[in-house]
Amino acid sequence: MKIRVPATSANLGPGFDSCGIALSKYLFIEIMEESDRWEILHELGSEIPNDESNLLLRVALKLAPTLTPRKIRMYSDIPLARGLGSSSSVIVAGIELANRLGHLNLSDAQKVDIATAIEGHPDNVAPAIYGDFLITAFDHEHKQTYVVKHHFPECNIVAYIPQEQLLTEASRNVLPKTLDFSTAVEASAIANVMIAAVIKGNLPLAGKMMQADRFHENYREKLITHLSTIRQICEEEGGYGCFLSGAGPTVLAIVPPEKADKICRLLHALETNAAIEQLQIDREGVQVF
């Protein structure tokens, strides 16, 4: 049995801690033979545990403590600490591992509730489970997650993925504790229009709103100096808009398919230490084969 979980991108500019999309980069988990102990085989680096201390197994064994140990092969092209939902993909894979081997028969809604309780917010885990475009909210008082899935319009996504990591905690530390009322009203209105534009299939307007965020990108730009340069290239070459992927440092540009190749070439010409990739929206979410 294999479990496949997509990468995700949260926020989409003004949809802070609420909106997310699933992307065509993947974590794969292959469940192999039973063993006398849990062992995860991977080539993801020495900092990733290969025993029960791995996040995958911590999640799975929390849900199903009596699972029979097995060997597991893990491989992924989702880079760590780049704003592409690497930890969320592992959490979702752990839930699905417990669900399948423990015969838990969890619904997608239950999976989202469990994943949100672990991750703290649903904007990455929900699209990893459902696929496509998700608008989410989490009621902290009642521990209730609300999600709405919608088709994201067809487009190409150009990803600028720096080699250096940026931990979410560091990126959150630059954010203000509060916003004044007028700024909050403006930020909320921008997010509303962005979501409505996506639902109506109006990517030019959605992209404009993605770049008008008032919640977080202005503060994080001091840590992510390449954002303004990429935004300028995107605007000059006919892209719809670009935004920080999650807490960064990855930047995603939403572009018409016919513009993607040239925008990629121009980003490559920046001669920075980053990978430039073309991605698609993953429509399926977590899959089991």
Binding residues for ATP, by number, are: 79-89
* C-alpha–C-alpha distance, residues 181 and 87, integer Å: 33
Helices (H), the chain: 55-63, 86-101, 108-119, 125-130, 168-172, 181-200, 203-210, 217-220, 226-236, 257-268
CB atoms < 10 A from the CB of 255, how many? 26
Taking the CA atoms of residue 76, residue 78, residue 79 and residue 80 in that order, the dihedral angle to the nearest 10 degrees is -90
- Both tokens of 215, joined, read 């919640």
Buried b / exposed e over 157-193, threshold 16 CB at 10 Å, is bbbbbbeeebeeeebeeeeeeeeeeeeeeebeebbeb
Q: Which residues are annotated as a binding site?
A: 79-89
Phi-psi region of 118 (alpha: psi -120 to 50; beta: other; left: phi over 0): alpha
Question: Distance of alpha carbon 159 from its chain centroid, rounded?
Answer: 12
- Both tokens of 287, joined, read 């899959």
Per the listing, tokens 């192999």 go with 32
Question: Residue 89: which of 53, 67, 118 has the closest Cα?
Answer: 118
Specify the DSSP element, H or E, that contains 147: strand 144-150
Question: Residue 133: which of 44, 52, 35, 203 has the closest Cα?
Answer: 203
At residue 7, φ and ψ (nearest 5 deg) are -65, 165
